[in-house]
């Protein structure tokens, strides 16, 4: 079974700093997708970024980028120029190409301090 | 406005009393899914549906039922709730599958006494 591990339960940085959230996963599959979802205090889950395993290029979305290391099974999220609105729980998720299941990590609670 | 709605938002019930949490989306999405969120465990998938009358188990389906009679609705049924089903529940939908952006509902906080 696929597993997703987020080893940092909580992180805290100052506004405008850069922060990196870690995620590792375990799979024997070659075709899969990885995601980062954000859950602010409102509880609303929002997709931050998506990476397809067959793509070598790391995905980016404005201030958010990933470092996808397929061989190491690592998928970290970098937030540049962090803002107060980035304060949230962040979940890493894995989806296998053929199946339609998503497996989430335990989450990292990120606090951006003014 | 494109959205996923869930009702109720909060529910306190007792062990064994059947309940249904409704989920509805207005985006004509084919894929719908239910998750539960527990501290330290993240989100775990309960059931998902690829289309009308097509449903399949996620990782934690025990104690839950679902149905997909209409494309827009995907209710979650707890026939005989137990305290270990106390959790925060999310419904989500996407155009075709999990690889598309999933839109989540606002969540339902369920407490089973």
Mapping DSSP onto H, E and C, the string for A61-105 reads: ECCEEEEEECCCCEEEEEECCCCHHHCEEEEEEEEECCCCCEEEC
Over the stretch B89-110, which tens digit does the pLDDT of each residue have? 999 999 988 888 899 999 999 9
Over the stretch B36-91, which tens digit does the pLDDT of each residue have? 999 989 999 999 999 998 999 999 999 999 999 999 999 999 999 999 999 999 99
What's the pLDDT at B99? 85
Residue tagged 């039922």 (tokens): B65
What is chain A's mean pLDDT, rounded?
93
Mutate to test the interface with B, among A1, A33, A45, A98 (most CBs of B within 10 A): A45
State the average pLDDT over residues A32-46.
Answer: 93
State the average pLDDT over residues A87-113.
Answer: 90
Chain B residue numbers with beta carbons less than 8 Å from the beta carbon of A93 are 43
Q: Which residue of A has its CA nearest to B4?
A: A44
Chain A residue numbers with beta carbons less than 8 Å from the beta carbon of B33 are 102
What's the pLDDT at A29? 85
Chain B residue numbers with beta carbons less than 8 Å from the beta carbon of A54 are none
For chain A, the residue count is 114
Over the stretch A41-87, which tens digit does the pLDDT of each residue have? 999 899 999 999 988 899 999 999 999 999 999 999 999 999 999 99
Q: Which residue of A has its CA nearest to B32?
A: A100
Contact predicate A62/A80, CB 8 Å: no
Q: Residue A102 and residue B99: Cβ atoms within 8 Å? A: no
């Amino acid at each position: 079974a696929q597993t997703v591990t987020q080893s940092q339960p909580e992180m805290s940085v100052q506004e405008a700093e850069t922060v990196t959230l870690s995620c590792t996963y375990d799979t024997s599959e070659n075709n899969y997708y990885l995601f980062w979802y954000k859950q602010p205090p409102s509880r609303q889950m929002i997709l931050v970024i998506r990476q397809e395993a067959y793509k070598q290029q790391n995905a980016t979305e404005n201030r958010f980028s990933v470092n996808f290391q397929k061989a190491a099974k690592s998928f970290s999220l970098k937030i540049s120029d962090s803002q107060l609105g980035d304060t949230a729980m962040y979940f890493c998720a894995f989806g296998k190409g053929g199946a339609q299941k998503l497996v989430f990590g335990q989450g990292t609670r990120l606090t951006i301090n003014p | 406005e494109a959205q996923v709605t869930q009702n109720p938002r909060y529910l306190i019930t007792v062990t064994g009393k059947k309940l249904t949490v409704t989920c509805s989306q207005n985006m004509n999405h084919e894929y719908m899914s239910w998750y539960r969120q527990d501290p330290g465990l993240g989100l775990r998938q309960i059931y998902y549906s690829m289309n009308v009358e097509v449903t399949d188990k996620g990782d934690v389906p025990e104690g839950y039922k679902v149905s997909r009679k209409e494309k827009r609705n995907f209710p979650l049924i707890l026939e005989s709730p137990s305290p270990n089903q106390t959790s925060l529940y999310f419904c989500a939908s996407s155009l075709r599958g999990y690889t598309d952006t999933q839109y989540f509902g606002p969540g339902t906080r369920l407490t089973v006494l």
